[in-house]
Amino acid sequence: MKQLVVVTKNKKKLSEIKEILKGMHLKLLSLDAYKNVPPVAENGKTFQENAIKKAVKFARFTGQFCLGEDSGLSVNALDGAPGIYSARFSGRSKSDIKNNLKLLRLLKDVPLAERKAHYVCAVALADRHGLIGVVEGDCSGLIAFEPKGSAGFGYDPLFYISKYKKTFAQLGEKIKHRMSHRYYALKKAKRIIQKYIVKQVGN
């Protein structure tokens, strides 16, 4: 079974990626499987740049096939913010709750029709020789007026899907994993992974 290192220590994100890649006969590990993990500066200007940095750096560090992922929320009324700063939107003492509260404060007087937003996810794949490929997926929605639901993480309690009249956090994993930004990015990444595995078997 081929091993794939997911460059994250976020257990909820790892669990989501495992669920979406289920059936690929991959053994997925996170950075928790390694000691003395070097830091990586997420100072790229785009989600793809950050995903590539993670994948390439840790493929060199581990010597393994690695998946780097960077994702976040872009809100139209905030000129695309929080964007690549989604995880640290509320500053040094960041948390999902603080990030969500800051977003609600900034959108306090904005009507629902003008609260359009989209999630973006970039996925990069690399091995010790370098970058293999990078893909991106997105999902559109609205920012709700208050958090609802307990599933998911990040901005999921605020990310409202009109079709279901529920937030991602209310929809739960089963539905979210068929329509999320991460699902669409990983769906594209699966093709790269499959080609890579076939090539490795052939060598």
Phi, psi of 117 (to 5 degrees): -155, 165
| Predicted local confidence at residue 42, as pLDDT | 85
Domain 2-202 has CATH 3.40.440.10: no
Catalytic (active site) residue 156: no
Domain boundaries, given as residue ranges, for the chain:
2-202
pTM exceeds 0.85 for this model: yes
pLDDT digits (tens, 9 = 90+) for 92-141: 888 999 999 999 999 999 999 999 999 999 999 999 999 999 999 999 99
Let me know how long the chain is. Answer: 203
189: exposed, middle or buried (Cβ count in 10 Å: 0-12, 13-18, 19+): buried
Active-site option among 70, 96, 127, 156: 70
